[in-house]
Structure formats: C-alpha cells, structure tokens
Amino acid sequence: MVDVTKWPLFSLLGDQVLSSIRQACVFGTSANEVIYITKNDHVWAFGLNCSNCLGTGDSQSSILPKKLDVLCGKKVVSLSYGSGPHVLLASEDGELFAWGHNSYSQLGNGTTNQGVAPVLVSANLLNKRVTEVACGSHHSLALTDAGEVYAWGYNNCGQVGSGSTANQPTPRRVSNCLQNKVVVSITCGQTSSLAVVQNGEVYGWGYNGNGQLGLGNNGNQLTPLSTYIYTHKPSGYAHSLALTDEGLLYAWGANTYGQLGTGNKSNQLSPVQILTEKERIVEIAACHSTHTSAAKTQSGQVYMWGQCRGQSIVLPFLTLFSCTDDVFACFATPSVTWRLLSLEHDDFLTVAQSLKKEFDSPDTADLKFSVEGKYIHVHKAVLKIRCEHFRSMFQSHWNEDMKEVIEINQFPYPVYRAFLQFLYTDNVDLPPEDAIGLLDLATSYCEKRLKRLCQHTIKRGITVENAFSLLAAAVRYDAEDLEEFCFKFCVNRLTEVTQTAAFWQIEGNLLKQFICRASRCGAFKN
C-alpha cells in the first residue's frame, strides 16, 4: 500500500484530504509540484508551478491545492511529465490534455507558447482514443487504443522518430518499422523513446550516446529500430530496464551511478541480465528524471540500485520497503513518482489501522471495563500483548482473568479510556488539562512511553494559570523532564505565576523547595 506522506509535500494536506486521494503524481526538477485526483474525480494541483506546470491558469506557486476545473469529472488513465516540466494527461474517454512548458512545442498545439491551463490536444488525433502518454525531457508520446504511437516536441536526437532532427509542433504518427505493428506500451528517457509491440518486441529511437536503445552501438536512431523481446520496459534518465514474461530482468545504457545493477559503472550497449539468482521479478521501476532503479519480486521483496541519496549503489540492494514507489520517495534525486500513484486498495487495512478501528467495538470485544458507569470494550489478547500490567492481571490465579466486566474506581472515565485507546493506537487523545490524570495512571502502571507522551501533551497546554499546578504534578509523579520544563516556565514568568490561585494553594514543602531553587537560579535578584 502506497503511503503518499513519504513525499514531504503531502504533509501540507490534512487527514481528510489525504483520505480522499485516489491517484497522485509528484514531479518537477526538485519534486516541488503535485497533482492529485480525488475519489470523486476532481483534479487538484499545488506546489512551485515552474513553467505553469500546475495548470492553474496562472504562474503563481501555491501551498494550497487549486482545482483544475476543466479536468474534473474526467477519469484519469495515464499521466506523465517532462523536465520543463510539461504535463500530459489521458482520460478514460481517450481525450488528451497538455499544459506547462512548451518551448519545443511539446504540448502539441503547434506553438511554443507556455500552457497555463490544460488544453485538449486534437491536432492529428481526431477520432483517436489515447490510452497512454509518456514524456521525455521536452518531447511527448501518445498511444492510441488501435496500437498507434504519436510523437511531437523536441527532436534534436530523433526522439520523435520522424527520420529527421527537426522539432515536431503537432502529434505525428511514428511509422517506419511500427507501421504494421500494434504497440501495447510506451516510455521515454530524457531524449529517447521506447515502445513494446504486441509480440513483446521492443523498438527504440532517439539519443543513444550511452547505449540506452539497446542496439549494440551508441549511434542515435532517427526512426524506430527493434532491439529485443520483452514485455515491460521503463526508462531512466539515460538507461533502460526490461522485464520478460518469465520474470527475468535486463538492463542497458548509462551506468555512471550503477543504475544498471551490474556491479560496476560501465555502460552497456546491449541488454544484460541482472538479479539472476533471485526469484521471479514482477515489477520494475525507473524514471527519466532520475538515475535510480528498483524491482519487486514475486514474494514482495523490493530492491533498489543506482543513484540513491547521493550514493552509487552498483548492485541491487534489498530494502525493507513494500513497494517500488517508496524507493523513489525516499532515495531518488529528485524524489519524484515514477508512475501515477494509485491509492485504491480494496479497503485494505494495515494491522495498525485494524486495531485502531476495533477499539471500543462491542462487536468483536471479549472484555468490558466499567468506569463511572460507562463501558469500554476491549480485547484481552491486545491488552496482554501491549501492557505488562494486563499481562500479569490476566493470569489464572487473578480473579480478573475470569471476569467479563472489570470495575475501575481509581481513575476517571476519560483518563482510563485514553489509556486503553493508547494501547490500540500509540497516541494520546486527551486535552492537556486531563493528561495529569493519565500521567498518574502511566506512573502507576509503569508505562514509560505513555508517561513521556503525557509529558509532551502537558507541555503544550501549560499557561501562567496552571503552571504551578503542573509543576506540583510533575514532582508528585517523578516526571523529571516535565518538572524541569514547568520550573523554568514559572521562573521566567515569576511575577505573573506568583499572583495565581494555583501558586498559593500549593502545600508548604513544595513552595519552600521552589523558592530555594528559584533563589539559586537568581530569580530574586534586582
């Protein structure tokens, strides 16, 4: 399951917005732009907005998401971005939209004017249904449901496949060797293009200085030429990966950062098999704006190699990630998404999410606590796993082990409920003023982590009026960190604190201790 919060920009969004996202893309030269699609098919964008790539109708950056009205209601099936960046989007209806950087006509509208908002690309695509899009640095590809490939934009190395190096201002069908072929997939490197046809053959064209077309040489190719037979192929900045229908992985092209995973940094002009001793590979990942590679095995193991956070990893490295997307979020430079993220997982819940959902659920609980006449429904097994106090309680020689309802008299309902909820969620959901009671409970039950969380919660709620009461509580429950914090707070606001009711209600010994300690700190000097 993809966790979009691994990309820092998503930390700007609240939980409600995050839960509404179905698809998302992080892009840009510094991974500073985001486009996301919600479950109701609304399209939003926010970030730096280089070259108007957000499509918001202006050139202003935005820390708040803006809705792209022209795209709302369109079910997005494919999205890609270039280095300018420019953006291509294909809808379920087969429509193609483009916006952003356009100095090389990569938007396909026949001009070089920047595209400040999404515009339908129709030139030479009338009555065509686009099913997939791909962007190089400054060129574009589109695949139709008939298996035809169209290309346009920057063409200095022949990446448009027209047979020349003249820029292509509008979509043009890539023919030559592809004329009678049915293409099923497309991808782009920075200035190269690859396509897989129905029988698994890979055709490449464009820049080949590092051997990224896999032709056995390093000469540029102005029209498509067949390389080898595979089933899936993503392209990196200047390298290529391919996966066969037998789960075998091949790599070729540039290898400056070890992105081929061959154990060295030598370029490869022809495909070389890697991860040969591992189990079947089911997914491979690369992106034209990075030198990073990743792969996932049949059992779910995720490997990464190439440029990873400034390091050159020349052999596939086994990570603890569960998906290849995490590799790019955490280790790629820039930390872009290598594909349009899909966040729909059939309502799948992680273990932590399932536990949180079942807290205080009468349907699945096998034990109730009665506090101040109110019930809290829990699961005995969870309590035994999470808390030493309950592990000891639920033993055969304890009376509580046989009970279905346990009475709690020493703590108020909000405090005890917050404690039990903490065991299910690892979070403290309690106002700062009530956290004192929870701190008392944490001390009694020897819950060190809960004690620390209570102290943090209390610190956030300290005021002049309650500071001395909190200091007294910290002393009473032996919370040294909180005691030091409260003491400094009181000393720094000594005049105001000594005029509060809480100060004069404190018992004598504590008051004397405070005065002596404050005196040693020079609090009473003129």
Contact 62, 54 (CB under 8 A): yes
Contact 471, 433 (CB under 8 A): no
Strands ordered across the beta sheet of 130-135: 130-135, 139-144, 149-153, 168-173
Cα maximum dimension of the chain: 95
Q: Which of 220, 68, 205, 193 is nearest to 134 (CA)?
A: 193
Instruction: Convert the pLDDT of each residue in 140-196 to its tens digit.
Output: 999 999 999 999 999 999 999 999 999 999 999 999 899 999 999 999 999 999 999
Segment 203-206 long-range contacts (CB within 8 Å, at least 24 positions apart): 203/177, 203/178, 203/227, 204/240, 205/158, 205/159, 205/161, 205/174, 206/136, 206/157, 206/158, 206/159, 206/160, 206/161
Q: In 3-state terms, what secondary structure has residue 250?
A: strand
Indicate the pTM of the whole model.
0.73
Contact 195, 178 (CB under 8 A): yes
Report the distance separating Cα 61 and Cα 470, nearest Å. 44
Q: Tell me what pLDDT residue 506 has.
A: 81
Residues of the chain with pLDDT under 50: none
Q: How, if at all, do strands 367-371 and 405-408 pair?
A: parallel
Q: Tell me what pLDDT residue 393 has.
A: 87
Q: Which of 449, 505, 513 is nearest to 475 (CA)?
A: 513
Number of residues written out for the chain: 526
First to last CA, the chain: 62
Report the distance separating Cα 164 and Cα 167, nearest Å. 9
Contact 63, 83 (CB under 8 A): no
Instruction: Convert the pLDDT of each residue in 281-299 to its tens digit.
Output: 999 999 999 999 999 999 9
Q: Tell me what pLDDT residue 230 has.
A: 66
Residues paired with residue 143 on neighbouring β-strands, in sequence order = 132, 149
Report the distance separating Cα 223 and Cα 394, nearest Å. 74
Q: Tell me what pLDDT residue 526 has.
A: 59
Residue with tokens 């298996």: 147
Provide the token pair at 441. Answer: 């409970």
Q: In 3-state terms, what secondary structure has residue 165?
A: coil
**Where in the chain do CATH 2.130.10.30 domains reside?**
4-342
- Please give the CATH superfamily to which domain 351-521 belongs: Potassium Channel Kv1.1; Chain A (3.30.710.10)
**Where in the chain do CATH 3.30.710.10 domains reside?**
351-521
Domain 4-342: CATH architecture, name and number where available: 7 Propeller (2.130)
